[in-house]
Amino acid sequence: MKIEQVSVTVFKTTSNTVHDTDGHTHPGPEHDSTNAMLTITTDDGHSGYAFGQPESLRPYVLENFIKKVFLGEDPMDREKLWQALARWQRGSGANLTDRTLAVAEMALWDLAGRKLETPVWKLLGGYRDSVPAYGSTMCGDEMKDGLATPEDYGKFAEWMVNRGYRAIKLHTWMPPVSWAPSVKMDIKACAAVREAVGPDFPLMLDANHWYSRTEAFELGKGIQELGYYWFEEPMDEHSTESYRWLAANLEIPILGPEYAYGKFHTRAEWIATKACDISRVGVADVGGIGPSMKIAHLAESFNMDCEIHGGGAGNLAVLGAIHNARWYERGLLHPFVDFDEVPEYLNSPIDPMDDDGNIPLPTRPGLGEDINFGYIADNVISTH
């Protein structure tokens, strides 16, 4: 079996969220948006699919890197192909990102699963067939009845508990919110949510990512007293030493790194230097499912949990195959957004949640996405 064709379909979708000048997501007016599907096809008629941002799969990247590495190769040689792409990143002029690696590698996994008629999480070595979810809020805003006040967070937390979520993570206010960031307001929001959900419900905080050490310490102490379960990314993660200092000075578990570059190497540094108590990996952040598994296993070797950043098919596959992660991150959630609405390019959601807050692992072969190929065909913007 050889890879015969690699192509990208860019298509129109509809979105009701917008991004602010820091890149954070908020509710917005309904508008046209775009998505891209990478398709890998073999000489014996098998295909694999993965979705990504059109910019990560633009023609230059497809032609100069993915096609050059993939065409003519056996798609089952995932590690070989991934290593070839990862080695090319250094000399790619920053054009070949971890995100691109992730989408390309996920399409290989999807192809393998479809060919073998097995879900990817089973191919990885299944551990569980469902995973509890935590509700992950959008960042705070200045919208009336949105997430503008500590009381708004408290009210929304009550809704999330009623919906079935098994834990809640707050993203509090960050610039460009006019008065943000504010340690005092972050603590007030965390206190309002603790008040709303009671003393035993697991809560986590992911605050402004550019606090100083003293601000991060003050905030960490505040949520530690409120019985929060983890403290995530309050400072720039490229300073491992700052996190080592924070972890040494607080009792609350520090989780990370999430966005720091360097894949498993960076996670190893954080664990080795005691900069975190819980490791962190997202398939899109570290270049795919394979590197995510390496990191989860690395953490497991230190009796450390490795919580998974973000949702979607790839992250769900990893969660189905590891035991040292407690939750699936479901979101981002906001009072004005119906997260259960199915995206037009899928026939059903990848992460439906029952009333007890559990997400079943997909039973479809491959990554398990229920792709609406008809919608995509009807809404093509370009192919390359």
Give yes or no for residue 215 binding Mg ion (CB under 5 A).
no
Q: Which two tokens stand for residue 256?
A: 């990370």
Q: Closer to Mg ion at the Cβ: 110 or 258?
A: 258
Q: For the chain, how long is the longest CA-to-CA vector? A: 61
Q: Closer to Mg ion at the Cβ: 112 or 133?
A: 133
Give yes or no for residue 351 binding Mg ion (CB under 5 A).
no
Q: Closer to Mg ion at the Cβ: 99 or 364?
A: 99
Choices 77-85, 88-96, 202-210, 324-332 (CB under 5 A): range interacting with Mg ion: 202-210
Q: Closer to Mg ion at the Cβ: 141 or 206?
A: 206
# of chain residues touching Mg ion (CB under 5 A):
2
Q: Closer to Mg ion at the Cβ: 57 or 316?
A: 316
Q: Using an 8 Å Cβ cutoff, are 98 and 281 in contact?
A: no
C-beta atoms surrounding 360 within 10 Å: 15
C-beta atoms surrounding 377 within 10 Å: 10
Cβ-proximal residue to Mg ion, closest one? 206
Q: Shortest gap between Cβ of 195 and Mg ion (angstroms)?
A: 24
Contacts of residue 81, Cβ cutoff 8 Å, sequence gap at least 6: 69, 70, 73, 75, 104, 105, 108
Q: Closer to Mg ion at the Cβ: 289 or 332?
A: 332
For 95-150, the DSSP string reads -S-HHHHHHHHHHHHHHHHHHHT-BHHHHTT---SEEEEEEEEPPP---TTSS-SH
Q: Is the dihedral of CA 350, 354, 359, 360 positive or negative?
A: negative
Give yes or no for residue 152 binding Mg ion (CB under 5 A).
no
Q: Closer to Mg ion at the Cβ: 62 or 283?
A: 283
Q: Shortest gap between Cβ of 281 and Mg ion (angstroms)?
A: 12
Give yes or no for residue 307 binding Mg ion (CB under 5 A).
no
Write the interaction track for Mg ion spanning residues 232-271; mark x where CB under 5 A is met and - where it is not.
--------------------------x-------------
Q: Closer to Mg ion at the Cβ: 237 or 369?
A: 237
Q: Closer to Mg ion at the Cβ: 215 or 258?
A: 258
Q: Closer to Mg ion at the Cβ: 49 or 231?
A: 231
Q: Shortest gap between Cβ of 232 and Mg ion (angstroms)?
A: 5
Rg (CA), the chain: 21
Choices 37-45, 105-113, 153-161, 203-211 (CB under 5 A): range interacting with Mg ion: 203-211
Choices 53-61, 102-110, 200-208, 335-343 (CB under 5 A): range interacting with Mg ion: 200-208
Question: Alpha helix locations (H) across the chain?
Answer: 59-61, 67-70, 78-89, 98-116, 120-123, 150-163, 183-197, 213-225, 240-249, 263-272, 283-286, 289-301, 313-320, 373-378
- Selected from 105, 186, 206, 237, the binder of Mg ion by CB under 5 A is 206
Give yes or no for residue 329 binding Mg ion (CB under 5 A).
no
Q: Shortest gap between Cβ of 255 and Mg ion (angstroms)?
A: 8
Contacts of residue 214, Cβ cutoff 8 Å, sequence gap at least 6: none
Give yes or no for residue 186 binding Mg ion (CB under 5 A).
no
Q: Is the dihedral of CA 238, 193, 337, 230 positive or negative?
A: positive
Gap between the Cα atoms of 339 and 331, Å rounded? 7
Return the SS3 of 346: strand
Gap between the Cα atoms of 114 and 39, Å rounded? 13
Choices 60-68, 73-81, 138-146, 199-207 (CB under 5 A): range interacting with Mg ion: 199-207
Q: Shortest gap between Cβ of 289 and Mg ion (angstroms)?
A: 19
DSSP bridge partners of 49: 39
Q: Shortest gap between Cβ of 233 and Mg ion (angstroms)?
A: 5
Q: Which residues bind Mg ion (CB under 5 A)?
A: 206, 258
